[in-house]
Amino acid sequence: MLRITGGKVYDPANGIDGVVKDLCIDDQGLFVPAVEGGRTIDATGMIVFPGGVDVHTHVAGGAINFARAMTPEDHRRTQAFIRTKSRRSGLGGMAPTTFATGYLYAGMGWTTVNEAAVPVLSARHTHEELADIPIVDKASLTLMANNEILLDQLEKGEFERAKQVLAWYLWSAKSYGIKAVNPGGVAAWKYGHDAKQLTSPIDGYSKLTPGVIVTHLARICDELGLPHPVHLHCNNLGAPGNISTTIDTLKHLEGHRAHIAHSQYHAYGGDGWDTMCSETAQLAEYFNAHPSITTDAGAVLFGDTVTITADGPWQHLLYKLTGRKWGNLDVENETGCGIVPYTYRPSNLVNAVQWAAGLELLLLIKNPWQVFLSTDHPNGGCFWRYPEIIELLMRADVRKESLLKLPDGIKGKITLPEIDREYSLYEVAISMSAGPARALGLFQKGNLGLGCDGDVVIYEEDENVRKMFGHPRYVIKGGEIVLEDGEIREAPSGREFIVKPPCDPGIDDFMRPLFEDCYTMSFENYPVEMERIHNPRMQDCIEVPR
């Protein structure tokens, strides 16, 4: 039991903007009106936020684990967590180890993370890794947009069947929702091609286009009532002039809920690397006019990182551009992924545009409930650098100073210098917690209301925004004080959110022959057993209004 008194509370889910208010958490780790006994934290003069929620990150699974193996040189120079009686050892850096991931997230007040790209085939592996990420609660999204069995159904126009196939896959993976990456493009990459046009048929299909996949996946997510809508990584990531693809994709989504992942990478104008510029104004305008669509920034921070994405063709291009290490994974007929270490440099015009574009989106999309803090960890930057982004959002003068580091050629390519908006604490609380929680359909998260999960982060008010958000005074997860005075005190294991969509019982018989025809493992071994999920928490499906 825990009482937090005297703090200035920011709880956007309940419209509370900096009101001094007491919070109580009971033995179940939920907010209640009052408690008897237990510890009291005197938060007088401090700032109280709901625990952070990361809507899009890559912290577990085959791809990030491949990245870990590829970057020993980074592990050697990064933060090292020393083993104690209650804490495991680990390494931070570009691709942190599992235990360190939990400590680093909790260390800056994040208590829920969404692993955004899991192939069903490696779901068993991903769940094992997620179980080794302490403190934070987790959800995971299943990669669906390049699954051959599903694409075959869509090609045949069998929509109902496709919906059942998807539900079957989702439950087999014990996942929380659907991620679509470069629809059709990853499938084509298996033969060295890509899918760039939304309305052109994909390699190996006669009618099926990326546009058809996008529309149908969005519709399926709505009809199944998944709490999180389709989580879409658009085609043509990172390419100059891709804004037209992105807007085109958004038009294919009209009438449905959708979350657009890391939209910074999809908001470029120009027709080559020399002319590449930011087209965030155009994208932001679309978001401003369509309130049912959410996005996360996928902001870029200058420095070293490792890029990981299911977008295999893009990664091969990046490998050729940089001449650095490259790893590629193909996951049978489901998806694939590429891994390339990368350094974003302010002196590089393309990187400078990317850096500005991420911030522009966060600032130009007016409604903070629509655009969330993310770096698409580790692609744009490491998650433990979020406080740097918060500072850039809250302080126009810091932005101005950073702009001075950019090359002269940046003029006319970005709009950031003209933007004066500064985030208030209330808006930061939406962007890092309440907003992503709502978009994920995790109504018990990012919310300090009664009955919600007792995840709280308490900051000492500080002029230095980066320091304040980087070093919370207390972090409370499910009513337990996990961090105090900069030290991880407890490392409880977190829970995993899972959705069981309605599924036709006959679908097994339909899937079996198709499955046995093209997979290399037995049908019975494919679905992840429920016993393998540590601390599962079932989340209900919802009714999505048409």
Partner 1 sequence: MPITFHLKRQPSVPLESEVFSPDVMAELTNTEIRALTIYHGKRQLPISDFFDVEGERSEDLVMHGAMHKVRWIGRAMSRGSITVHGTVGMHLGAYMKGGRIEVHGNASDWIGAEMKNGFIHVHGNAGGQIGAAYRGSMQGMKNGTIIIDGSAGLEVGMRMRRGTIIVGGPAKDFTGLQMKGGTIVLMSGAEIRTGAWMNRGTIISLKPLQLMPTFVRSVDASPMFVNVLAKNLKSLGINLPHKASEGTYRQFAGDLSVSDKGEILVWQPVA
Partner 2 sequence: MQKSKFLPRGRKDRTMVLVDIRETKSAKAADIFLQVRPGKDFELITILRALIKDRQVSDQAIAETGLTREVIDDLIRRMKGAKFGCVFFGMGLSMTRGKHMNSAALLTLAAEMNAFTKFVAMPMRGHGNVTGADVIMRWQTGYPFGISFSRGYPRYNPGEFSTVDVLVRGDCDAAFIIGADPGATMPQPAIDHLKRIPTIVLDPHVTHTSKLSRVHITTAPQGIAAPGTAYRMDELPMPLKPALKSPYPSDEEVVRRINEAIAKKPFWLPDGSQPQMLNAQV
Interface segment toward partner 1; rule CB under 8 A; list 65-73, 103-111, 212-220, 459-467: 65-73
121 binds partner 2 (CB under 8 A): yes
With CB cut-offs between 5 and 8 Å by kind, which of partner 1, partner 2, none does residue 44 bind?
Answer: none
Going through 353-485 in order, the beta strands assigned E by DSSP cover: 371-372, 456-460, 474-477, 480-484
Q: Among residues 68, 92, 81, which one has the least CA distance to residue 385?
A: 92
User: Looking at 72-80, 188-196, 394-402, 482-490, which segment touches partner 1 (CB under 8 A)?
Assistant: 72-80
Q: Binding segment for partner 1 among 71-79, 247-255, 273-281, 501-509 (CB under 8 A)?
A: 71-79
Burial 337-358 (b: 16+ CB within 10 A, else e): bbbbbbebbbebbbbbbbbbbb
By the rule CB under 8 A, 76 interacts with partner 1? yes
- Residue in 4, 48, 64, 70 binding partner 1, rule: CB under 8 A: 70
Question: Which of these, 133, 119, 1, lies nearest to 54 by C-alpha position?
Answer: 133
Closest CA to 468 of 109, 205, 55: 109
Other Cβ atoms less than 10 A from the Cβ of 262: the count is 28
Which amino acid is located at 358 in the chain? G
Report, in Å, the least distance between residue 473 CB and partner 2.
Answer: 16
Q: Does 72 bind partner 1 (CB under 8 A)?
A: yes
Binder of residue 421, out of partner 1, partner 2, none (CB less than 5 to 8 A by kind)? none
Q: In the chain, how many H helices and how many E strands?
A: 18, 28
> What type of residue is 81?
F
Helix 62-70, helix 123-131: angle, nearest 10: 70
Under 8 Å between Cβ of 136 and 128 = no
Which C-beta is closer to partner 1: that of 68 or that of 138? 68
CB of residue 153 to partner 1, shortest distance in Å: 43
Sequence-ordered strand ranges (E) for 196-348: 231-233, 258-260, 268-269, 277-278, 293-296, 303-309, 327-331, 335-344
Site membership for partner 2, residue 378 (CB under 8 A): no
Whether a cis peptide bond, with omega within 30° of 0, leads into 119 is no
Please give the distance of CA 380 from its chain centroid, rounded to a whole number.
12
Sign for the pseudo-dihedral over CA of 184, 190, 194, 199 = negative
73 binds, among partner 1, partner 2, none (CB under 5 to 8 A by kind): partner 1
- Please report, as residue ranges, which positions from 206 to 225 form the binding site for partner 2 (by CB under 8 A): none
Residue of the chain from 73, 160, 254, 508 that contacts partner 1 (CB under 8 A): 73
* Contact residue for partner 2 among 19, 42, 45, 84 (CB under 8 A): 84
Q: The tokens of 54 are what?
A: 């990361």
Q: How far is the CB of 357 from partner 2 (least distance, A)?
A: 29
> Are 14 and 447 within 8 A, CB to CB?
yes
The rounded distance, in Å, linking the Cα atoms of 449 and 405 is 43
225 contact, one of partner 2, partner 1, none, CB 5-8 Å limit per kind:
none
Q: How far is the CB of 107 from partner 2 (least distance, A)?
A: 9
| 122 part of the interface to partner 2, by CB under 8 A | yes
As beta bridge partners, residue 293 has 258
Q: Measured from the CB atom, is 70 or 150 closer to partner 1? A: 70
Question: Quick check: 15 binds partner 1 (CB under 8 A)?
Answer: no
Q: Is residue 487 within the footprint of partner 2 (CB under 8 A)?
A: yes
**Residue of 5, 14, 40, 328 interacting with partner 2 (CB under 8 A):** 328
Contact pattern for partner 2 over residues 285 through 324, marking x by CB under 8 A: -------------------------------x--xx----
Least distance between partner 2 and beta carbon 81 (Å): 5
Rg over alpha carbons for the chain, rounded to the nearest Å, is 22
Find which of partner 1, partner 2, none residue 538 binds, CB within 5 to 8 Å per kind. none
Chain residues that interact with partner 2, rule: CB under 8 A: 60, 62, 65, 68-69, 71-72, 75-85, 87-93, 95-99, 103, 121-122, 124-125, 128-129, 132, 148, 189-192, 204, 316, 319-320, 326, 328-330, 333, 486-488, 517-518, 520-521, 525, 529
Question: What is the contact surface with partner 1 in residues (CB under 8 A)?
Answer: 70-73, 76
